[in-house]
């Protein structure tokens, strides 16, 4: 099979490439170049040069051709513009979800030759075809599972997608990396937002939105507790990075118009929430689920809630969690599950 492999220079995608190579497939690896590599040159050492160095070494070892594909303009027009606008509005975006649906499994398909039958990546997820329908299933590794970030894929996208490492846990992937003697076998996992690489999110915000000093106020006493560089540096539920003593303090509210960040230590009711509205859905099957009792994740990770979904209309629903969460924020994505099947998701309103 002729397969295009998305290769980041990390261990996961490198193992995916070697597994496919060992199975005799005709592979071409692609390293996606994105706009922030040039945008953040002021930071000094370029972390993407290291990524590309490892990608080249892995391909050389496996005798697989590597192509560098620039998607800088596409990133700006979709993922990055969305992220900046959401932050300015005081919401909490998740650019990785659109990075996958619009870029890695979207624009990338349009850029490569039509002769490629599949696109493979190093995501921790599984795809199965049942009666002509493609379903997205969770990885057996609950911590590494990445279906949350893949919830906005479509049937057409899944039909062309392979996740070669999806059935393994992270320990096994490290073992395979050593088995293949990969040049990057001991490299640490990347953290953070897809298009930022090793750039800190705060640096990204500062570069595009600057700093506007505002007050940090205790919502229970209305007392000014300190200053902040801009409401857009903070998200609901955040407890680190406030620079305040006597904690723990949680961000519980943002006044975007007046640039105020409200915090709380005592008021549990404000911090915790077990009900929210959600809209702007994507359902992987093409239609919403019939069941009302589902699982839901409101952020990437192992934690999943049982929930009840009540439809308000075709475009909006109320989600009731089985227990409250401290960090529910507008703009986040709620991703729904039926057992280990990822159904799709929506935006928290």
**Annotated active-site positions, please?**
99, 194
Euclidean distance between the first and the last CA atom of the chain, given in angstroms as a whole number: 43
Q: Which residue intervals of 7-144 are DSSP H helices?
A: 11-22, 36-39, 47-62, 72-75, 81-88, 95-98, 108-111
Cα R_g (the chain), whole angstroms = 21
Q: Which residue intervals of the chain are DSSP H helices?
A: 11-22, 36-39, 47-62, 72-75, 81-88, 95-98, 108-111, 155-158, 170-179, 201-209, 268-271
Q: 252 near 264, Cβ under 8 Å?
A: yes
- Compute CA distances 166 → 129, 141, 163, whole Å: 15, 9, 5
d(CA 10, CA 47): 12
- The DSSP code for 196 is G
Starting at the edge strand found earlier in the chain, the sheet holding 118-120 runs: 66-70, 26-33, 2-6, 118-120, 161-162
d(CA 23, CA 42): 43
If we measure between CA atoms, which residue out of 162, 190, 217 comes closest to residue 19?
Answer: 162
If we measure between CA atoms, which residue out of 320, 324, 336, 322 comes closest to residue 281?
Answer: 336
- Compute CA distances 169 → 19, 58, 145, 272, whole Å: 15, 21, 9, 32
């Amino acid at each position: 099979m002729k397969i295009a492999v998305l290769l980041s220079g990390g261990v996961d995608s490198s193992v995916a490439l070697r597994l496919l190579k060992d199975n005799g497939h005709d592979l071409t690896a692609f390293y996606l170049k994105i706009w922030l590599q040039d945008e953040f040159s002021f930071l000094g050492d370029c972390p993407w040069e290291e990524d590309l160095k490892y990608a080249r070494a892995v391909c050389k070892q496996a005798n697989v051709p590597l192509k560098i594909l620039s998607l800088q303009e596409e990133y700006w027009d979709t993922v990055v513009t969305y992220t900046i606008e959401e932050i300015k509005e005081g919401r909490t975006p998740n650019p990785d979800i659109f990075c996958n649906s619009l870029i890695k499994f979207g624009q990338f398909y349009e850029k490569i030759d039509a002769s490629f039958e599949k696109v493979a990546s190093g995501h921790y997820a599984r795809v199965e075809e049942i009666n002509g329908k493609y379903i997205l299933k969770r990885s057996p590794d609950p911590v590494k599972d990445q279906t949350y970030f893949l919830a906005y894929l479509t049937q057409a996208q899944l039909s062309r997608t392979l996740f070669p490492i999806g059935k393994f846990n992270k320990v096994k992937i490290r073992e395979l990396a050593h088995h293949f003697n990969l040049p990057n076998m001991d490299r640490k996992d990347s953290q953070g937002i897809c298009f930022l690489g090793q750039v800190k999110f705060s640096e990204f915000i500062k570069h595009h939105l600057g700093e506007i000093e505002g007050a940090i106020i205790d919502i229970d006493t209305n007392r000014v507790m300190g200053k902040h560089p801009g409401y857009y540096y903070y998200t609901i539920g955040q407890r680190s990075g406030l620079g305040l003593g006597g904690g723990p303090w949680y961000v519980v509210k943002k006044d975007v118009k007046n640039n105020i960040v409200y915090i709380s230590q005592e008021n549990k009711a404000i911090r915790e929430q077990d009900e929210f509205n959600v809209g702007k859905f994507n359902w992987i099957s093409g239609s919403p689920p019939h069941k009302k009792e589902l699982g839901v994740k409101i952020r990437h990770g192992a934690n999943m809630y049982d929930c009840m979904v009540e439809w308000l209309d075709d475009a909006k629903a109320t989600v009731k969690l089985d227990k409250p969460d401290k960090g529910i924020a507008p703009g986040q994505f709620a991703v729904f599950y039926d057992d280990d099947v990822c159904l799709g998701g929506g935006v928290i309103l």
